[in-house]
């Protein structure tokens, strides 16, 4: 066990020839995630009634979607919270799976 810990410590200190490859690979992965995060944020922000903050190298985004009054009325008629209703309809019509903000304790509006 001591040998493994020492080897791991040497890697983090740059004591192994694979350390440079690790740095290169890590930088490439992070840059790829950053590009995809920017693409998602820009895509959301190009949509009407949607605002999304950039999430640095994240695998998720948190867009705020302003639902029209008719959608809110339809949700209430169905006995659903509006964002839950929207997410269910999105899944039913597009096969896109989302999580409503209310599931994270998001306040309305």
pLDDT tens, position by position, 37-51: 999 999 999 999 999
For residue 67, give every residue at least 6 positions away whose Cβ sits within 8 Å of its Cβ, in sequence order, or none. Answer: 49, 75, 82, 83, 86
Is 79 inside any structural domain? yes
Indicate the SS3 state at residue 51.
Answer: strand
Q: What is the pLDDT of residue 8?
A: 59
Is 99 inside any structural domain? yes
Q: What is the pLDDT of residue 102?
A: 85
Is 36 inside any structural domain? no
Is 95 inside any structural domain? yes
Q: How many folded domains does the chain comprise?
A: 1
Q: How far apart are CA 52 and CA 24, in angstroms?
A: 30
User: Containing domain of residue 99, as a range?
Assistant: 67-109
Contacts 24+ apart (CB under 8 A), 24-29: none
Is 41 inside any structural domain? no
E strands in 9-98: 50-51, 64-65
Is 60 inside any structural domain? no
Is 56 inside any structural domain? no
- Residue of 96 and 9 predicted with greater confidence: 96
**pLDDT tens readout for residues 51-94:** 999 987 677 888 999 999 999 999 999 999 999 999 999 999 99
Q: What is the pLDDT of residue 103?
A: 80
Percentage of the chain exceeding pLDDT 70? 83
Neighbours of 107 (CB within 10 A): 6
Is 52 inside any structural domain? no
CA distances (Å), origin 29, targets 35, 105, 109? 10, 31, 35
């Amino acid at each position: 066990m001591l040998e493994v810990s020492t080897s791991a410590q040497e890697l983090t200190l740059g004591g192994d020839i694979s350390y440079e490859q690790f740095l290169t690979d890590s930088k490439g992965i992070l840059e790829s995630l950053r590009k995809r995060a920017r693409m998602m944020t820009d895509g959301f922000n190009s949509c009407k009634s949607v605002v999304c903050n950039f999430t640095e190298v994240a695998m998720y985004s948190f867009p705020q979607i302003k639902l029209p009054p008719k959608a809110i009325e339809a949700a209430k008629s169905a006995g659903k919270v509006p964002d839950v209703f929207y997410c269910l309809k999105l899944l039913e019509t597009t096969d896109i799976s989302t999580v409503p903000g209310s599931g994270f304790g998001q306040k309305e509006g």
